[in-house]
Every structure is written in structure tokens, then in C-alpha cells.
Amino acid sequence: MHITTFNPMILSKNADEIIKLFEALGFERLHKVDNIDGKDISSVRMKDANGFCVDVARVESMERDMTTMRMNVRDFDEAYAFLKAHGFKNARGEDHTVESKSARSCLMFSPSGFSIQLTQHIRNHD
């Protein structure tokens, strides 16, 4: 399995406040994706001068903030099967994925309760 990036991701309905906090810590916004899964969900990728990254997603339906780990991979199906073989469950039901022009993803929970946001970016180059 080829992992391309691995970093924390915060899901919150108060994403703007969290983004401001990370900007005060020296992180800069790299890019933003809106209308994820056809819903009012947006995600901002941030990076600091040392190369550390954090993603902050605004999810209005979140009652409490949630911190997960974002794992970008080259082969979604391979990584999904790997996580399932290790007991992970898809948060939105068996084999549900969020797909857009640029990515395919889903939130997976381990048997002990930690989570990984599994993502494959749709690449038009190697």
C-alpha cells in the first residue's frame, strides 16, 4: 500500500475558529474544497513552515469536534480492503464512499474507536 500523506484532520461545525487558531500558530491555507458529497461541507488544507499539515473540515452536523487522521493513498480499494481486514468499519455503512472530481474518501473506525479518513486523490499524472 502506497501512502502519500498522513496527517491530523479536525471535523467541526466551528471550523473557522479552528482555522484562525492554526493560522496564529503559523499555518497557512493551501487550498479549500467546498460542497463535498453535495452537502454543505468544506475542507481546508493547512501547512506550516516546517512542512507539518493539518486539515480542517466544516461539517455542520457535528455535535462535537472530532479529530481523525487523514491518510492519502494511491490505491483506495487496496487500502480500504487492508483496513477492513484489520477490523475497521466504514462510518457511513458498508462500502459508502464520498466521490468528487478530485478525490474518493470515507471515514473508517478501528475496533478500538480511533478513526482514519481514507482518501485517494484522482490524479491526472504519476
Given a cut of 80, whether residue 98 has pLDDT beyond it is: no
Each residue of 29-39: b (16+ CB within 10 Å) or e?
Answer: eeeebeebeee
The pLDDT, as a whole number, for residue 109 is 96
Q: Of 55, 80, 54, nearest to 1 (Cα)?
A: 80
Cα–Cα distances (Å) from 110 to 4, 25, 39, in that order, read: 21, 30, 26
The pLDDT, as a whole number, for residue 23 is 97
The pLDDT, as a whole number, for residue 125 is 52
Number of CB atoms found within 10 A of residue 113's CB:
6
34-38, 68-72, 77-81, 110-114: least confidently modelled range: 34-38
Q: How confident is the model over 81-96, as a mean pLDDT?
A: 90
Tell me whether strands 89-90 and 66-73 are parallel, antiparallel or unpaired: unpaired
The pLDDT, as a whole number, for residue 40 is 65
The pLDDT, as a whole number, for residue 36 is 57
Q: What's the one-letter identity of residue 123?
A: R
pLDDT tens-digit series, residues 1-46: 999 999 999 999 999 999 999 999 999 999 776 665 556 677 899 9
Q: How confident is the model over 82-101, as a mean pLDDT?
A: 86
Given a cut of 60, whether residue 88 has pLDDT beyond it is: yes
